[in-house]
């Protein structure tokens, strides 16, 4: 068995500009990360400022819905700070220990965020059930005022994060959306308390908020786990790798041993074995494979192992994967 390892090719996203590339073009590659950082910083400033307001207001109003919101916003502020640190670390260049760079810190941080939300859900459920059994008096007017102010803050933070596509930003957006829904639930509970004196509305709507938080947390945690376990990115059909190449790349007679994963959950990374007809120009075939997959499937990084007719004796050769 012989493999053409000199033609084992890597092609991925560049971070620094090439010597023959304008400096502006290299700088443009950093803009998505800088934009994400600005969005996270803005959202963090908004949430951190109003966390104290809701905590004090929830304590004075004796409202579990507001206290849950305050703890939720505190957890969200911490998660945004964690996401921001992960984003900064992910922009470090690759080194001999981490040859793919540090971008995996982004889904790792988002995974931790999801776990924090799941734990927070358990606390909200416990406190809500306790208050259902012994409902305390709640200051409806103060509760309503604080809930409305918190809702405005959460809406502002959600709009700031609305343009983000990274797992960290999506995770942060899930946090803020559940905060926004929590503020809405707290407002409804306050109105019911003011209109009907129904203090049970406070813990009951807190349970609704807990269900919404759990849904967001589970989605973020599952998506991040898929990335960390190097699963195929959501919506990507592995069979398309072969169908896009066969018949479109001259000299290519077979594709097998295809693996697809993603560094951050955005663009896929592909490795494959390419079976070439005898006499094919390896460099031209590799370039054609790169161009086809990048254009048609938006693949970020491609690794190709070349095999000529009769050069592969492994059982996987000739099998489609």
pLDDT digits (tens, 9 = 90+) for 241-256: 999 999 999 989 999 9
pLDDT digits (tens, 9 = 90+) for 279-321: 888 899 999 999 999 999 989 889 999 887 655 555 555 544 4
Contacts of residue 133, defined as CB under 8 A and 6 or more positions apart, other chains included, come to none
**pLDDT for position 317:** 56
Higher per-residue confidence, 318 vs 166: 166
Looking at the chain, the whole-number percentage of residues with pLDDT higher than 70 is: 83
**pLDDT for position 123:** 83
**pLDDT for position 290:** 92
4 has pLDDT over 50: no
Point out the least confidently predicted range of 28-37, 158-167, 200-209, 210-219: 28-37
Over residues 153-168, the mean pLDDT reads: 77
Q: Residue 65 burial by CB count (10 A; 0-12/13-18/19+): exposed, middle or buried?
A: buried
- Most confident of the ranges 12-16, 128-132, 216-220: 128-132
β-strand partners of 306: 4, 274
Q: Cα–Cα distance between 31 and 48 in angstroms, integer?
A: 25
273 has pLDDT over 90: yes
17 has pLDDT over 60: no
Distances (CA, A) of 8 to 60, 125, 246, 272, 274: 66, 54, 19, 10, 10
Higher per-residue confidence, 181 vs 163: 181
Side-chain half-sphere exposure of 89, counting CA atoms within 13 A: 16
258 has pLDDT over 90: yes
Q: What class, spelled out in words, does domain 23-228 have in CATH?
A: mainly alpha
Contacts of residue 248, defined as CB under 8 A and 6 or more positions apart, other chains included, come to 288, 292
Distances (CA, A) of 184 to 58, 142, 214: 15, 15, 17
Domain boundaries, the chain: 23-228, 233-308
β-strand partners of 275: 254, 307
- Most confident of the ranges 54-68, 106-120, 203-217, 252-266: 252-266
215 neighbors 130 (Cβ within 8 angstroms)? no
The CATH code of the domain at 233-308 is: 3.30.70.1350
**pLDDT for position 22:** 41
Q: What is the mean pLDDT of the chain?
A: 78
Point out the least confidently predicted range of 34-38, 98-102, 125-129, 294-298: 34-38
């Amino acid at each position: 068995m012989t493999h053409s390892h000199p033609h084992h090719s890597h092609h991925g996203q560049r971070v620094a500009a090439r010597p023959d590339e304008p400096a502006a073009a290299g700088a443009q590659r950093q803009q998505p990360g800088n934009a994400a950082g600005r969005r996270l910083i803005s959202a963090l400033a908004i949430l951190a400022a109003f966390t104290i307001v809701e905590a004090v207001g929830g304590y004075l109003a004796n409202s579990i819905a507001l206290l849950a919101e305050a703890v939720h916003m505190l957890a969200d502020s911490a998660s945004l700070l964690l996401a921001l640190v992960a984003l900064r670390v992910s922009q470090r260049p690759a080194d001999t220990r981490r040859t793919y760079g540090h971008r995996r810190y982004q889904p790792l941080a988002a995974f931790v965020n999801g776990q924090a939300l799941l734990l927070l859900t358990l606390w909200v459920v416990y406190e809500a059930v306790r208050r259902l059994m012994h409902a305390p008096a709640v200051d409806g007017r103060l509760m309503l005022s604080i809930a409305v102010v918190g809702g405005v803050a959460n809406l502002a933070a959600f709009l700031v994060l609305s343009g983000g596509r990274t797992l960290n930003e999506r995770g942060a957006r899930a946090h803020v959306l559940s905060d926004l829904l929590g503020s809405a639930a707290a407002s409804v509970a306050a109105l019911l308390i003011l209109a009907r004196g129904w203090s049970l509305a406070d813990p009951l709507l807190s349970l609704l908020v807990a269900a919404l938080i759990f849904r967001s947390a589970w989605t973020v945690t599952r998506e991040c786990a898929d990335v960390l376990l190097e699963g195929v990115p959501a919506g990507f059909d592995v069979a398309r790798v072969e169908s896009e190449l066969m018949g479109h790349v001259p000299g290519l007679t077979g594709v097998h041993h295809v693996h697809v994963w993603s560094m951050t959950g955005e663009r896929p990374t592909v490795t494959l074995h390419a079976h070439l007809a005898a006499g094919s120009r390896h460099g031209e075939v590799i370039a054609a494979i790169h161009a086809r997959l990048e254009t048609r499937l938006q693949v970020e990084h491609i690794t190709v192992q070349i095999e000529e007719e009769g050069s592969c004796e492994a059982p996987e050769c000739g099998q489609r994967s």
